[in-house]
């Protein structure tokens, strides 16, 4: 069934890594995107570039620099525009930082979501897609993880995801007019094939591929490999890496379900590829794509890391009619394209994005 092409989607955190790629796919898919972001971990340049790639559809893009905890500002946006659904990406995501400063995470991730949901309810907007995370599976005894696996919080960050998931289930049970899709992402990597938008972490990169990318462009000297004594083929940790454009498309599929299926309820889906790749396999694929040697320093295991984590994608394939298309080679190729064109991300060597 074709969608009404004028649906307006409010995208929180739409200037960020996954958000910017999703906003682009929304515009290209004929939606209107209203981005709300406080630019805490992103740059307005990402939004400008999304508009550039979107061409004529850029007229359907609006940006508000607003913190989600600012209820008054949110109310104003909902009063001035009829919002058909919300995709909620905004949040802080550094696991280690959440252990050091849990209140920051409860305030920024939980309070902002509470505020958003209150404003949505008061304006009768009851359609939501939320960014959850595979972190809620902890260190499972078996893989692939299915959506029914037991859930566990390994950090305050993970606990905010679990609590928000539970809050969404409670809201739906109290009021079945809500349609909510909780998406548990595995490890998003890569960039839009244009090389104009990509991941640009502030400060020290916590995740594998942003670090590899910064080594490749000469911003860091070597990659520290956290453990080579796991029970995996080469001893390094295994994860389910997914191309960020595939992930973005997963949100469009989720929205379609919400708009087309009145019985959506509150459902959870894994977004991954269903395949595991080790740290050394990722490094080798990136070296091949970039032609750059990535010097390695082997170190001990990172506390809290699981050995092997990948997800089952069967439920998303069946019910969202979505399946990841891109390979590890594509992810590395596109990540290198972005990195080589933008070695300092959206910033410059002197800007705050470069530390
Ligand atoms: P990101 O940091 O690039 O994007 C998040 C955006 O939210 C940023 O632009 C930031 O400025 C904004 N933001 C943060 N707090 C805000 C607030 N209070 N008000 C308004 N804007 C605010 O991160 P990302 O990788 O794009 O992640 C998006 C979402 O996906 C997050 O909720 C994250 O927890 C979740 N997630 C990410 C990963 C990953 O590995 N990248 C994996 C699983 C889940
Ligand atoms: C991947 C692999 C590391 C960096 C994290 C969050 C999770 C989710 C996704 C938000 C592991 C190894 C890494 C480095 C390394 N985010 N590694 N050297 O840990 O699977 O998941 O991001 O929800 O919640 O925990 O991703 O990219 O940090 O690590 O050897 O410098 O790379 O040990 O095996 P992770 P990652």
346 within some domain:
no
Query: Is 3 part of a structural domain of the chain?
Result: no
Please give the pLDDT value at position 355: 37
Nearest to 347 by CA among 190, 219, 215, 187: 219
Per the structure, the count of domains in the chain is 1
Mean pLDDT per 10-residue interval, the chain, length 355 residues: 72 98 98 98 97 98 98 98 98 97 98 98 98 97 97 97 98 98 98 98 94 97 98 98 99 98 98 98 98 98 96 98 98 98 86 47
> Relative to the alpha carbon of 92, which ligand is closest?
1
Query: Does residue 158 lie in a domain region?
Result: yes
Do 316 and 240 form a contact (C-beta atoms < 8 A)? no
Alpha carbon of 287 to those of 283, 329, 343: distances in Å? 6, 10, 16
Whether 2 is covered by a domain: the verdict is no
Q: Tell me 208's DSSP state.
A: H
Q: What is the pLDDT of residue 6?
A: 82
> Residues with Cβ within 6 A of ligand 1?
12-13, 15-19, 37-42, 67-69, 89-93, 108, 112, 131, 133, 185, 187-188
> Does the CB atom of residue 192 touch ligand 2 within 6 A?
no
Whether 347 maps to a domain, the answer reads no
Name the residue at shortest CA distance from atom 13 of ligand 1: 90
239 lines ligand 2 (CB under 6 A): yes
CATH (domain of 84) = 3.40.50.720
Active site residue 157: yes
Cβ pair 132, 185 in contact under 8 A? yes
What is the pLDDT at residue 135? Answer: 98
Distance from Cα 235 to the centre of ligand 1, integer Å: 30
d(CA 215, CA 233): 25
Is residue 46 one of the residues assigned to a domain?
A: yes
Distance 187 CA to ligand 2 centre (A): 8
State if pTM tops 0.85: yes
| Smallest-distance ligand from the CA of 248 | 1
Residue-range definition of the domain harbouring residue 170: 8-341
CA-derived radius of gyration, the chain: 19
Gap from CA of 93 to ligand 1 centroid (Å) = 6
Residue 26 lies in a domain: yes
């Amino acid at each position: 069934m074709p969608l009404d092409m004028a649906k307006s989607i409010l995208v929180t955190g739409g200037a960020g890594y996954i958000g910017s790629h999703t906003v682009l796919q929304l515009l290209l898919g004929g939606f209107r995107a209203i981005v709300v972001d406080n630019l805490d971990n992103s740059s307005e340049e990402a939004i400008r570039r999304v508009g550039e790639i979107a061409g004529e559809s850029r007229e359907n893009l609006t940006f508000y620099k607003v913190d989600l905890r600012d209820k008054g500002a949110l109310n104003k946006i909902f009063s001035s525009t009829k919002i058909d659904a919300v995709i909620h990406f905004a949040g802080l995501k550094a696991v280690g930082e959440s252990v050091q400063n849990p209140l920051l995470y409860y305030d920024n991730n939980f309070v902002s979501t509470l505020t958003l949901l209150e404003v949505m309810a008061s304006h009768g907007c009851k359609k939501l897609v939320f960014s959850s995370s595979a972190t809620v599976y902890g260190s499972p005894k078996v893989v692939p993880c299915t959506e029914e696996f037991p859930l566990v919080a390994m950090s305050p960050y993970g606990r905010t995801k679990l609590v928000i998931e539970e809050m969404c289930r409670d809201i739906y049970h109290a009021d079945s007019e809500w349609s909510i899709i909780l998406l548990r992402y595995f490890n998003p990597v890569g960039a839009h094939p244009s090389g104009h938008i990509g991941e640009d972490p502030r400060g020290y990169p916590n995740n594998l591929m942003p670090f590899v990318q910064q080594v490749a462009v000469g911003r860091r000297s070597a990659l520290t490999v956290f453990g080579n004594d796991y029970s995996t083929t080469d001893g390094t940790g295994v994860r389910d890496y997914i191309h960020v454009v595939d992930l973005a498309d997963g949100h469009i599929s989720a929205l379609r379900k919400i708009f087309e299926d009145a019985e959506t309820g509150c459902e959870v889906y894994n977004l991954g590829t269903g395949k595991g790749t080790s740290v050394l396999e990722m490094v080798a694929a990136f070296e091949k794509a970039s032609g750059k040697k990535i010097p390695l320093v082997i170190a001990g295991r990172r506390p809290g890391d699981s050995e092997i984590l990948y997800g089952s994608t069967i439920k998303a394939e069946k019910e969202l009619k979505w399946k990841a298309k891109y390979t590890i080679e594509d992810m590395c190729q596109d990540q290198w394209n972005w990195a080589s064109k933008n070695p300092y991300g959206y910033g410059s060597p002197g800007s705050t994005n470069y530390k």
